[in-house]
Structure 1
Amino acid sequence: MGGVLLGEGVGMVESFHEFVVHRSPALSRTAYLLTGDHQLAEDLVQTALARTYRHWRRVRDGNPEAYVRRVMYHQQVSWWRRRRLAERLEAEPAEQAAVDHSEATTLRVTLNAALGQLSPRQRAVIVLRYYEDLTEAQVAEVLGCSIGTVKRHGHDGLRRLRAIAPELVDAAAERSTR
């Protein structure tokens, strides 16, 4: 009996390791878009994966990536609430020390700054819906809310992005005509 349990434990570790190796780049991109900071994104992914590992036996046969995203979202909101109490957000984002003047980099910086001005839930909906290309139902599952809530936050978030950074709309329209 001990050998069976040991074998199951080894298989569990291997399947988790395989998941981490294959899905970490995508999870890291999502974490960066949620946090707007590379170091916080790394911490967010590590925290989410550590929490997921504790429940891997139950999660691995379902949709483990959705589970990790849900953990990342909830952890990010928790961090955001703690930071919000400890500091006051500036009206303008801090200047970047080294700016790459290429069009793509400028667009990424603009998008990141604009995403940073959304509420955590709006930002999560926009990232999951349009960057991760999840359906409204999948986003609702990840965030643990209704599809109507996803639609509302998505609508409000897009409206706010258009007001904050109209150049993003111009860039999207330009890309769609290429």
Structure 2
Amino acid sequence: MWSWFQNVGRRWADWCGDHEMENAIRRHLSSEGYYGGTAKLRGVKLAAVQRPGWLQIFRFDATARVAIEDEDEQSDGRRPADRVSTRRSARPESLASPHRSGAAVYHDLYGLVREDQRSGRVDVRVFRSGDERRELFGRWGEGLLQLRGGQALSANRSG
């Protein structure tokens, strides 16, 4: 019985609570070369907010499987290495070449979501290291009220 309560508590802690934001995270992961639909999101927490609450920054952790591209099934007929990325953030080098071993490759990712509810704009960024996320949070969170979820990300925290 105790394990059931622990399982419910863990699921509650990992619950996103915002279906649109969860879908935005999953779409971003898919565009970055991961299977976003099956990614395990953890610790989605409000980290900073601007009064009166229109602008919000959330933090999250994720474990996502790397999407393997099969060269024979490319829609444009070119190998992945021949393509030029037009996105602002290009895929990491580790995702550029397919893994031939057949084993699934998972990455632990650290992310931020900046949601502006006035314009309906949602910016999602994911990183392979927590330091990169912390640096971006320092820029995005400047001048915002930092909540408990953002204190661990603050670069100028004491302790």
TM band (smaller chain): 0.3 to 0.5
Larger Cα-atom Rg: 1
More helix by share: 1
Kindly indicate whether structure 1 or structure 2 has the higher relative contact order, using CA contacts under 8 Å at least 6 residues apart.
2
TM-score by length of 2: 0.35
TM-score by length of 1: 0.32
More strand by share: 2
